[in-house]
Amino acid sequence: MSDPYYFAPPVFAPRKVPVTSTGAHMPAIPAETMQPQALRERFVNQPTWSPEILRESSFTQRQIANASVLLPLVMRDELHVLLTQRTMHMSTHGGQIAFPGGKADDDDANPVATALRETYEEVGIAAGHIEVIGSMPTYLTGTQFVITPVVALVEPGFELNINHHEVAHVFEVPLSFLMNPANHHEHVFEWQGARRKWFSMPYPDASGPNGKEHFIWGARAGMLRNFYRFLHA
């Protein structure tokens, strides 16, 4: 049965929405701040800071649902963020770049449990490879998901077991790229009489769907922007 309170998100080509500004005037996060031990300590002794984005303009009046994602920092020579590309047929955010994660189940003990379960179900990384070091403030998407981003260090040596029903592709991006605001693009467009702002972080990569880049945008870019604010504080 269709949801009478659901309104489809705007249909547009995000790559074609003009960039209104970048963060080129802002400092990149220093390499020493992005070391595993430095991140552990920052979550234990958190600075005073404020997230830049806590909620998106809603596209629907349906009931809010709780969800969690894992922000997986793979401990290679430098930290890399593991991301997925969702399959096109997914009912929400189909084809978009995402963190491993999803909607909370009744059996999940807490948001961390949701993130770990979903990560294993989507890409096959077991909890034994994952060290959760903290969580970021919740993020309300335009599709009415209250998402808890769970930040974790991931030990290399895991074997991916991809759920191809949900995940089309898995790739990694250096954390240093994502924490350099020169790579943060701000976009603005009008929809249903409202002015809506969002970020993108296009990552040049020949393995991307267009053979040129992975276009990280929307909620994922918003959560990464908040992570930048957390590390910069």
What tokens were used for 125?
């990384």
Domain total of the chain: 1
Is residue 1 one of the residues assigned to a domain? no
Dist CA 157 CA 210 (whole Å): 29
Residue 58 lies in a domain: yes
Residue 212 lies in a domain: yes
Which structural domain range is residue 87 located in?
Answer: 26-232
Q: Would you say residue 7 lies in a domain? A: no
Residue 169: CB partners within 8 Å, gap ≥ 6?
84, 85, 207, 209
Closest CA to 10 of 225, 193, 202: 193
The owner of tokens 């790229």 is 177
Q: Residue 9 domain-assigned? A: no
From the CB of residue 150, how many other CB atoms can be counted at a distance below 10 Å?
28
Residue 11 — very low, low, confident or very high, per pLDDT cuts 50/70/90? low
CATH assignment at residue 187: 3.90.79.10
Residue 13 lies in a domain: no
pLDDT in tens, 58-96: 655 678 889 999 999 999 999 999 999 988 655 555 568
- Does 17 fall in a domain? no
Average pLDDT score over the chain: 88
Residue 133 lies in a domain: yes
